[in-house]
Amino acid sequence: MESSRPNAQWSAILDVVRSHVSGQRFQTWFQPVRVLDLKSDHLVLEVPNPFFADWFEEHNVPLVVDAFRELGCPSAPKIRLTVSDSYYEQSQNLLTAPATAARPAAAPAGGNGWSHNLYARFVFDNFVVGKANEFSNAAAHAVAQDPGMVYNPLFIYGGTGLGKTHLMQAIGHAVLAKNPNAKVYYGSSEKFMNSMIQAITAGQTIDFRKKYRNLDLLLLDDIHFLSGREATQEEFFHTFNALRDARKQIVVTSDRPPRDIPRIEERLVSRFNSGLVTDIKPPDLETRVAILKANAKRDGSTVPEPVLFLVAEQIQSNIRELEGCLMRLSALSRLMHAPITLDLALEVLSVYARPDETTIGVDLIQRLVARIYEVSVESLRGKKRTSDIAFARQVAMYLTKQLTALTLVDIGKSFGNRDHSTVLYAIRKISDGRKLHPDLDKRIEELTGELRNAGGRRRIERRPPSDPGSQPLWS
């Protein structure tokens, strides 16, 4: 009886979510999910594939969190997504099947008897180049042509969904195309850490080190995940040295440049900077339209030009969302046996609605700025004037003025009842600073993009539980 309890709890959560989303969205994104474990402090969900996991985490986890709160949970459990074993079994079968002309991107498994984990579609031919990514693309091509000899390591950073993983994996595919026996491995920094922990627990650290330190090409995603994880940083440091000393190529990605990753060892920062550090910015309108055209052509979808421009204008800072919107649009068109029109596009775009003054609030801005600058929200509203808190507060005030309709007086009240002249000074200081300091300008652009994405997501309306005195489901 007890074993069925997580499913009953999850069913209650799904009932709340179902009442707030369309039937099509629920069927597509919630029915395939299976609950593996549900306790007061954590929830483990199994999803069909990595793409589904990325999409679900970004678009649907907030709905699950709000559902817990709507049911009366004081704080939602930490949600972890795990990909179904069947996906990796299918991937392995594809990798070990004989190569055919129809599937050129399915390279053989990497050396040491393990899969390289590359996605078939993440190749250079499918990467749309624009002003925002042309330098990173050129660097990636150079590395692929002569791995281990130029730009080692290659460090690519940028916001979520801008193509870092695509470009990184394209290097892997190009290297394997030239040398099918090359030992190539792609993985996340979190997986690196988990593999290390498992090896230590099982007494197999020697095997772990052999796997990683005998590679020809290591592609490690989201290196900022190692922030504050000293033991994993230590292991990666020695892995890095072993590979570079052997003239083997290392490519890593992050959401920020090496110097801006908090709680990362200086010796690692130094090694990252010893290679080439390059960034990918949000694409311009023309590039976004080109990306949509390329995806539509590859998927065999007929999408009118006005629809392409409408989608590209509405989704500006996340290529993953851009491609996801087109995928959803094509799927709905096929399901309804109807052509893709502007009306259908507007319906789909409601899920990705662009923010306005009502969807981006000062609370959201304060929470994001506090997280990025590693201060508390309370300190932004408080009286402390230390340099780090004062600067973060000025950034938050500037963003509030840019992204909301609040007056200077209202902004001042939201930051501890400060005078409007203080707010005006903060706005001018950040505005002038952006002109003088490219790093600050870039950081403001990134924060603005993240706020627009966060503000554009639909949120469940929070209501008190119908029976506050009832026993909560998660106890």
Query: Alpha helix (H) ranges present in 203-256?
Result: 205-213, 230-245
- Model pLDDT, residue 221: 93
| Nearby residues of 92 by Cβ (< 8 Å), 6 or more positions away | 109, 115
Residue, of 300 and 96, whose pLDDT is higher: 300
CA-to-CA distance for 457 and 452, rounded, in angstroms?
A: 9
CA-to-CA distance for 219 and 217, rounded, in angstroms?
A: 6
103-124 tens-digit pLDDT = 334 434 444 445 678 988 899 9
- Model pLDDT, residue 72: 80
- Fold of the domain spanning 2-86: GMP Synthetase; Chain A, domain 3 (3.30.300)
Architecture of domain 105-280: 3-Layer(aba) Sandwich (3.40)
* DSSP tally for the chain: helices H, then strands E: 21, 8
163-182 tens-digit pLDDT = 999 999 999 999 999 999 99
Percent of the chain with pLDDT over 70: 85
CA-to-CA distance for 407 and 420, rounded, in angstroms?
A: 9
- Model pLDDT, residue 277: 95
Architecture of domain 285-352: Orthogonal Bundle (1.10)
Residue 291 scores a pLDDT above 60? yes
Section 265-291 average pLDDT: 92
Average pLDDT, the chain: 82
- Model pLDDT, residue 451: 83
Structure-token pair, residue 218? 């290591």
- Model pLDDT, residue 466: 35
Residue 275 scores a pLDDT above 80? yes
Write out the DSSP string of 439-474: HHHHHHHHHHHHHHHHHHS--PPP---S-TTSPPTT
Domain 362-456 has CATH 1.10.1750.10: yes
| Nearby residues of 87 by Cβ (< 8 Å), 6 or more positions away | 48, 49, 50
- Model pLDDT, residue 237: 94
- Model pLDDT, residue 18: 87
Section 20-36 average pLDDT: 83
**What's the pLDDT band for 457 if we cut at 50, 70, 90?**
very low
Section 328-332 average pLDDT: 85
Residue 356 scores a pLDDT above 70? no
- H or E element, residue 33: none
Section 60-68 average pLDDT: 87
Residue 383 carries which side chain, given as an amino acid letter? K
Q: Where are the domains of the chain?
A: 2-86, 105-280, 285-352, 362-456
Residue 392 carries which side chain, given as an amino acid letter? A
CA distances from 151 to 4, 127, 312 (A): 53, 20, 33
CA distances from 103 to 47, 99, 100, 106, 448 (A): 25, 7, 5, 6, 40
81-102 tens-digit pLDDT = 888 877 656 544 534 444 333 3
Section 382-404 average pLDDT: 89
- Model pLDDT, residue 332: 80
Structure-token pair, residue 143? 């590395």
Mark 422-433 as b/e (b = at least 16 C-beta within 10 Å).
bbeebbebbeeb
